[in-house]
Amino acid sequence: MRLVFILIGPPGSGKGTQADMLCEKFGFVSYSTGAIFRNEMARGTAIGQRITPLMDKGLFVPDDIVMEAVIGRIQKTRRNVILDGFPRTLVQAKLLERFFQLAPGRFLPVAIEIGLPMREVYRRVSGRMSCDKCGKVYHVKFRPPRLTQRCDKCRRPLKFRSDATRAVVKTRIKVYQKETWPIVKFFRQRPIFKFFSVKGAQSIAAVSASIIKIVKKIT
């Protein structure tokens, strides 16, 4: 049975950071819907052009585009999977549940909520930089690269994200509270999902330790 870890939490809670750690430590494969869509935008594909005005404002990508991007990837791989940033609406969560119900005995879905007080979100998101080659994520204060604004691995210049302005982050928080909060309750209640919650307002290493404990308990 394949494990599907679902990381859920507000912007900046550390979903991407912890997904990278899990991939390195356990050899899982991670699908970040945000990264998938930023890549579509950078390549200027038809999907990229459709979603750019939404992403730039901090609004969600339509559910049909998201479902197609994620389900195909889960089906194609044979490895244990991490979903970083999906599902994010109740519609997506219910469609994902349906997908698991139609494949009994094939997947064990494990939802992990990374909680973070909203006042911390801007500090995290505004200092975030990443490498556009390998995707590694840094923070000016909490996880600085060894060389100023250069990736430790690729040595390429690091970039800030276009959706990290104060106004856009405000929208992302509002959309999270309205659309994504209800999913936490949904995961808690639906028997098909195992549900865990960890505190995101700790050091990166402490959050990792809490998540590793959960993974070891499950595997």
List residues with catalytic annotation: 15, 88, 128, 161, 172
| DSSP reduced 3-state for 168 | helix
Contacting residue, 3, 34, 195, 198, with ligand AP5 by CB under 6 A: 34
Please count the other Cβ atoms lying within 10 Å of the Cβ belonging to residue 192: 13
Contact between 66 and ligand AP5 by CB under 6 A: the answer reads yes
Identity of the residue, 61 or 74, whose beta carbon is nearer to ligand AP5 in the bound complex = 61
Contact between 136 and ligand AP5 by CB under 6 A: the answer reads no
Under 8 Å between Cβ of 88 and 81: no
CA contacts within 13 A on the Cβ side of 22 = 31
Is 86 one of the annotated binding-site residues? Answer: yes
Residues 6+ apart with CB under 8 A from 218: 3, 108, 110, 194
Q: What is the DSSP string of 57-86?
A: TTPPPPHHHHHHHHHHHHHH--S-EEEES-
Sign, Cα dihedral of 44, 47, 53, 57? negative
The residue number whose beta carbon is nearest to ligand AP5 equals 34
Least distance in Å: CB of 155 to ligand AP5? 19
Is 138 one of the annotated binding-site residues? Answer: yes
Contact between 16 and ligand AP5 by CB under 6 A: the answer reads yes
Contact between 207 and ligand AP5 by CB under 6 A: the answer reads yes
Interface residues toward ligand AP5, by CB under 6 A: 9, 11-17, 32-34, 37, 54-55, 58-61, 66, 85-88, 92, 124-125, 127-128, 137-139, 142-143, 172, 202-204, 207
